[in-house]
């Protein structure tokens, strides 16, 4: 499932208030992406892979099973290779 807007090859736009829940209790993380943390909507995407870098304004909250990334600016989710992802400011 991925309904994020494309921003090019292996790149997707994230809204300013995107909310990523990263489950890292396994070898490959599970990234669950929501358009907004306050919206009562299903996730926009679920991706297997490791989030290796966030180079955009954000807040980070550790949880017992991983962490939550709350974006504070529009950004782009970019696939680096088969198992690695990063987020860059747009």
What is the structure's pLDDT at 1? 53
Q: Which DSSP category does 79 fall into?
A: E
Strand pairing of 84-89 and 50-55? parallel
Query: What is residue 26's predicted lDDT score, i.e. its pLDDT?
Result: 83
11, 56, 29, 12: CA torsion to nearest 10: -20
Residue 76 has pLDDT above 70, yes or no: yes
| Sheet hosting strand 19-23, strand order edge to edge | 45-48, 30-34, 19-23, 66-71, 58-63
Could you report the per-residue pLDDT of 24-73, keeping only the tens digit for each? Answer: 988 889 999 999 877 788 999 999 999 999 999 999 999 999 999 999 99
pLDDT value for 36 = 86
Amino acid 68: pLDDT: 97
pTM of the entire structure? 0.90
């Amino acid at each position: 499932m991925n309904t994020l807007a494309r921003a090019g090859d292996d790149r997707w736009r994230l809204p300013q208030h995107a909310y990523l829940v990263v489950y890292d209790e396994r070898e490959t993380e599970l990234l669950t992406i929501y358009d907004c943390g306050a919206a009562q909507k299903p996730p926009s995407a679920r991706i297997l892979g490791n989030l290796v870098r966030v180079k955009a304004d954000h807040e980070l909250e550790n949880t017992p099973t991983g962490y939550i990334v709350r974006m504070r600016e529009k950004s782009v989710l970019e696939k680096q290779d088969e198992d690695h992802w990063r987020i860059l400011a747009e």
